[in-house]
Amino acid sequence: MTEEQVRPVPWKVIDTDTVVADRWIRLRADTCVDAAGRTIAPYYVLEPAEWVSVLALNTDGDAVVVEEYRHGAGVVALGTIGGGADADESPRDAAVRELREETGYEPRELVDLGATWANFGNHTNRVHHFLALDCVRVAEQSLDAGEMIAVRVLPLEGLGDRLQQSYHQLTWYKALAHL
């Protein structure tokens, strides 16, 4: 069979067990069968909420970004504003809420830059990327328990090199294409 003749097909899920389910995530272990009849088990799938990532620019055109400890990676990182959407919340509303909670800023204009899969190998959610323009500070931060976020206002020049790896950079590149 040549490479042109190969046609990947979805696996058949023959069983699913919930490993953990709480307000943050659902982790399931699937038992699957591929097109060749091979069993793949367990195949872990994480089902978090949809995520948002916002690159905010203030009225001077400088970037409003955040610096915070990210426990999964074990690092203090500079990144875009972001978080998970609530179950009854649109990605756009989540972006505005996260921007206000994490920084105290609100945008005059919010540009939807599209969505990408968070990790389509084993996550079911997407990251919705936004560019927030003409942001003004209207409130103090309103952080969740366990959050310690420093707001940084930085010039756009060189910012892309300072953002940590992950969807933060993808939001950066999508925003640059829009600007």
pLDDT in tens, 8-34: 999 999 999 999 999 889 999 999 999
Confidence bin at 172 (pLDDT 50/70/90): confident
pLDDT at 122 over 60: yes
pLDDT at 168 over 70: no
| Number of structural domains the chain divides into | 2
- Give the mean pLDDT of 150-169: 78
Judgement on whether residues 27 and 57 belong to the same structural domain of the protein: no
Q: Quote the CA–CA distance of 104 and 13 in Å, as a whole number.
A: 45
- Give the mean pLDDT of 147-174: 79
Q: Quote the CA–CA distance of 167 and 123 in Å, as a whole number.
A: 14
Write out pLDDT tens, residues 56-107. Answer: 999 999 999 999 998 988 988 889 999 999 999 999 999 999 999 999 999 9
Judgement on whether residues 64 and 84 belong to the same structural domain of the protein: yes
Q: Quote the CA–CA distance of 105 and 65 in Å, as a whole number.
A: 11
Fill in the DSSP letter of residue 85: P
Judgement on whether residues 10 and 60 belong to the same structural domain of the protein: no
pLDDT value of residue 100: 99
Identify each DSSP E strand in the chain by its residue range: 12-21, 26-33, 39-46, 51-58, 63-70, 75-79, 81-84, 105-106, 109-117, 126-137, 149-154
pLDDT more than 70, % of the chain: 96
Judgement on whether residues 40 and 66 belong to the same structural domain of the protein: no
Cβ distance 73 to 62 under 8 Å? no
Domain that holds residue 13: 3-46
- Give the mean pLDDT of 162-179: 70
Judgement on whether residues 40 and 57 belong to the same structural domain of the protein: no
Judgement on whether residues 38 and 86 belong to the same structural domain of the protein: no
